[in-house]
Every structure is written in C-alpha cells, then in structure tokens.
Amino acid sequence: MADERAEWSADPRRDGLAAFVAIEDDRAGAHPGVRHIRALGTMYRFDVHHPGDVDTYPDRQRQEVRGMRGPGGRERRIAEGETWRFAWSWYLTRALRATTSFTHVQQFFASVPGGGPGGGPVLVTSLRRRGGRDLLELNAIRSGVVVGAADLGPLRSRWIGVEIEARFAAAPGGRVRWRITGGDGDAVVDVERGGLDLRPGAAGVSPKWGIYRSLKDAARLGDAHLLIKDLRARQVRHIG
C-alpha cells in the first residue's frame, strides 16, 4: 500500500511565481521589456516569440520555471530512491507545434552540486513530429526509451489532465507511470515502464514547466503560448 503526504502545490493567486525556485524568462535578454511567464488568475501562461526570443544557447529558446519552493522559501528537490506523484492541467495551443527537433514542455532535471554545468534531463515531455505524425511524448532520456506517446491533435486547444508518478533511482530501479486524460476524464494514455535510469544525482531532481525548443525546425516555429494550472505534487511512501 502507499502512504501519501501532500508536499507542494502552486496556486497562481496565492503564490504567483514565488511557488518556483527559478524563473527562466528571457535569460539572454533577447526580448527586453516583455514578460514571457506570468501568473494570470487561476493559471500560469508561458509565451514564446519567433523570430525574437533566443536563449543563452543561441540555437534554442527557453521560457521555463524550475523547482518547488515550499513554506518558508525552502526548496524541495527529489533525492535518490524517492517516489513522487505529480499532477497538473495543460492547455496546449495549436500555435505551439510539434517539431522534428526538440520542443519540450515539461522536464525533470538532475542538477549538479553548486548548480554548475553538467546536469541534464531525466524525463522529458515533448511535442515531437515523427514520420509525419504530431505526438505528445514522454521520454526517459538516459535510458533512450520512449515511455509512451499519443496523437497530439485531439489534445490541443482543450484542458487535459496529466499525472506522472516516478521512482527516481538508477537502473534497474527507476520506474514511471504516465497518464493523460481528456476533457471528459477518460484516459488517452496510461502507461507504466520499469527498469529505467532515473537517477537524480547528488544534487537531486527538480521539475520544470514551460517551453524549451530548438530553432532548427524553423518552418514550424512561430509565436505561441501554453497554459498550466492545478499544479501539485506528493511524495509517495510505499509501506508494508
């Protein structure tokens, strides 16, 4: 059985952007005077502009939030062997298109001690174009495994529910369950995969939400945004 305890949530009206540890809004200063990440009523909005927005790595764009900030401003990172269940609602607009390169809309990112270079994603959710199909896809990066995918078309321009439960551990101990529900509450995707390399490293794993995309597939890029609400996370402890 599982023993759960609420650990974190992000309420735009209560917390604003202070629910997150870092706001990665126009890190390179490419689009001065414009706020790309905002708390609006009951939701968070992420905007990206093309041409115009460029990250500190000039071959990509990034407008993301990172991390979970709890009571008293304390950051909560995910440690080796911990299991967490995350849930939120997404509104993926039609202007935010799938690409043959990367367009990530959510990541679990393993940092290195001191916050320097050398960290990397563990799990990523992407809008991916493969074989002429537009997909919403969950990828376990270190294992080179696509955990699951769904046709993106029916999921656009409507609120959809997302649940990810993952045990963050080195292979073969890492596992993840990914569930997507449509507006009617029916499951569009419900997959589980074990034997994965989801090790968080010494500095732990932090969730990220927003838009992080390559500039390589330029013909499919333009101004776009996404919306997210009902962000919450629980650490799950499996007992006897």
DSSP 117: S
Domain parsing of the chain, residue ranges: 2-238
Which residues, listed in sequence order, are joined to residue 79 by a DSSP beta bridge?
A: none
Segment 126-148, tens digit of pLDDT: 999 999 999 999 999 999 999 99
Peptide bond connecting 207 to the previous residue in cis, omega within 30 degrees of 0: no
Residue 191 has pLDDT above 60, yes or no: yes
Q: What CA–CA distance (Å, rounded) separates 49 from 210? A: 13
**Using 50, 70 and 90 to split pLDDT, how confident is the model at 115?**
low
Taking the CB of residue 125, how many other CB atoms lie within 10 A of it? 22
Tokens 């414009």 appear where? 34
Question: What CA–CA distances, in Å, run from 34 to 22, 51, 62?
Answer: 17, 14, 14
Which residue did the predictor score with more confidence, 180 or 70?
180
CA-only gyration radius of the chain, Å:
17
Segment 10-46, tens digit of pLDDT: 999 999 999 999 999 999 999 999 999 999 999 999 9
Q: Quick one: CATH architecture of 2-238?
A: Sandwich (2.60)
Peptide bond connecting 51 to the previous residue in cis, omega within 30 degrees of 0: yes
